[in-house]
Amino acid sequence: MKATRLLIIAVVMIQSVGIAWAQQTVLEVDATRAPMGILHAHLVFPVSPGPMKIAYPKWIPGEHAPTGPINQVIRLVFTAGGQQLSWQRDELEPFVFHLDVPGGMKKLEADLDFACEIDVEGFTVAVCSSQNELVLNWNLVAIYSPSVASDQNMFSASLRLPKGWRFGTPLMVEREDEGLIQFRPVSLKTLVDSPVIAGEHFLTFPLGGENPAQMDLIAEDEQALQPSADQKIRFAKLVAEAEALFAGSRYPLYHMQLSLGDQINHYTLEHFESSENRLPNQGLKDPRVLLTSGSLMPHEYVHSWNGKYRPPVGLDNPTFLDPVHGSLLWVYEGLTDYLGNILAARSGIWTPEQFLAGHRRGFNG
């Protein structure tokens, strides 16, 4: 009887997985025009006939604010059965679109174009490409049904890059074929938490660790893409010191991403299995940059434990339309800033004297 019950449970689980796979959203991103600042996305949603809401990500994890760059969406078209559908923006929530799915339709298709901002100042993910670099945060091009929690909303994503470009991402690759990368299906939450950096000039090297970590780098030219031997040692020591501090890692593999460029150096953002960091193109060559920005990568790395593995209450919203509550930001960001500064010194990115001088001035988190 016990074996029979186990068999029934197994069958139900397999059927549930099959249903989830059948209901996943397909997201195909064409970034071949990234050097021009244009990203194109084609999406296919499983649907039923009738009224439907589609949303664009509004509250972006790690930004703690309704900063989804919807103003950079320059084209949005819905179709079903080969016919274009009319849609209406919500009167109170501009991140939501209403449409009616015709009878007999089982899938809804959407085409979206996103224009990366170029040569602007400020903390914004919308600065996402240059002539030979791309930093793809998937929330730029992903629309979704807000009726499903982000951690239950399955997406099958693929990405087409310009010829010859290489990439780094924590997403698992299912297959590659002539510039098209197909990733394994993940939840929308995981997808948005898994950026891709890609470029004509790309380098990766291991950082060690209990569960391995690696550095992924892109730059505007090959000369800038050459960390020194000492820098590699310090980045590896950062991993070792963090694991000692937190009694091990919580991720299977970590991608410490660093984009070097004078056109896209306006943003850093933490993720569970990666961090997306940006410095000027000569950021690894100019000691002044590492002095003033030396705690950035340790800070974002600490977030893998504090903020991602263990998010404070109110800062892990069920969908990207739900506002976050910032009463515990002092834990999410304040504690992380403190520990990031400590690790910058312990790893050798800062000298003890530089750490103490920063402490006397008051660190800028």
Span 176-227, pLDDT tens digits: 988 899 999 999 999 999 999 999 999 999 999 999 999 999 999 999 999 9
Give the DSSP H or E segment for 55.
strand 50-55
Sign of CA dihedral 38, 112, 190, 172: negative
348 dihedral zone (left: phi>0; alpha: psi -120 to 50; beta): left
pLDDT bracket for residue 1 (50, 70, 90)? very low
Residue with tokens 């059927």: 15
CATH code for 27-199? 2.60.40.3650
Higher per-residue pLDDT: 285 or 7: 285
Please give the pLDDT value at position 159.
98
Q: What's the CA gap between 188 and 144, in Å, rounded?
A: 8
**Looking at residue 120, what is its pLDDT?**
67
207, 256 in Cβ contact below 8 A? Answer: yes
Topology annotation, domain 202-361: Neutral Protease; domain 2 (1.10.390)
The pLDDT, as a whole number, for residue 246 is 97
pLDDT at res. 355? 87
As to burial, measured by CB atoms within 10 angstroms (0-12 exposed, 13-18 middle, 19+ buried), residue 9 is exposed
Arithmetic mean of pLDDT, 95-117? 97
Confidence bin at 287 (pLDDT 50/70/90): confident
Which residues, 6+ apart, have CB-to-CB distance to 258 below 8 Å? 215, 216, 217, 218, 277, 278, 279, 283, 297
The pLDDT-based confidence of 75 (bands split at 50, 70, 90) is very high
Q: What's the pLDDT score for residue 9?
A: 40
Q: pLDDT tens across 239-285, in order? A: 999 999 999 999 999 999 999 999 887 789 999 999 999 999 999 99
Contact present, 307 and 340 (Cβ < 8 Å):
no
Spatial CB neighbours of 356, under 8 Å, sequence gap ≥ 6: none
For position 15, what pLDDT does the model report? Answer: 38
pLDDT band at 121 (very low <50, low <70, confident <90, very high): low
Average pLDDT over residues 81-110: 97
Where b means 16+ CB within 10 Å and e means fewer, 236-262 reads bbbbbbbbeeeeebebeebbbbbbbbe
pLDDT at 360: 58
Query: Quick one: how far is CA 142 from the chain centroid?
Result: 12
Q: Is 212 left (phi over 0), alpha (psi -120 to 50) or beta?
A: beta
User: Which pLDDT belongs to residue 32?
Assistant: 97
Specify whether the CB–CB gap between 161 and 72 falls below 8 A.
no
Which residue ranges make up each domain of the chain? 27-199, 202-361
DSSP letter string, 244-287? HHHTS-SSSSEEEEEEE-SSS-S--EE-SSEEEEEE-TTTTT-H
* Alpha carbon distance 190, 175 (integer Å): 19
Q: Which of 143, 150, 148, 152 is nearest to 55 (CA)?
A: 143
Look up residue 340 and give its amino acid.
G
As a whole number of angstroms, the distance between CA 274 and CA 125 comes to 16
Q: In this predicted structure, what is the pLDDT of residue 13?
A: 38
The residue-averaged pLDDT of 156-168 equals 97
- Tell me the pLDDT band of 16, cut-offs 50, 70 and 90: very low
User: What residues contact residue 24 under an 8 Å CB cut-off, 6+ apart?
Assistant: 46, 154, 155, 156, 185
pLDDT higher than threshold 80 for residue 350: yes
291-345 confidence digits (pLDDT tens): 888 999 999 999 999 999 999 999 999 999 999 999 999 999 999 999 999 999 9
Q: Determine contact, residues 101/50, Cβ cutoff 8 Å.
A: yes
State the sign of the Cα–Cα–Cα–Cα dihedral 321, 327, 328, 333: positive
Do 50 and 115 form a contact (C-beta atoms < 8 A)? Answer: no
- With 50 as the cut, is the pLDDT of residue 10 above it? no
Q: What is the mean pLDDT of residues 96-108?
A: 97
Percentage, residues of the chain above pLDDT 90: 82
Question: Is the pLDDT reported for residue 2 higher than 60?
Answer: no
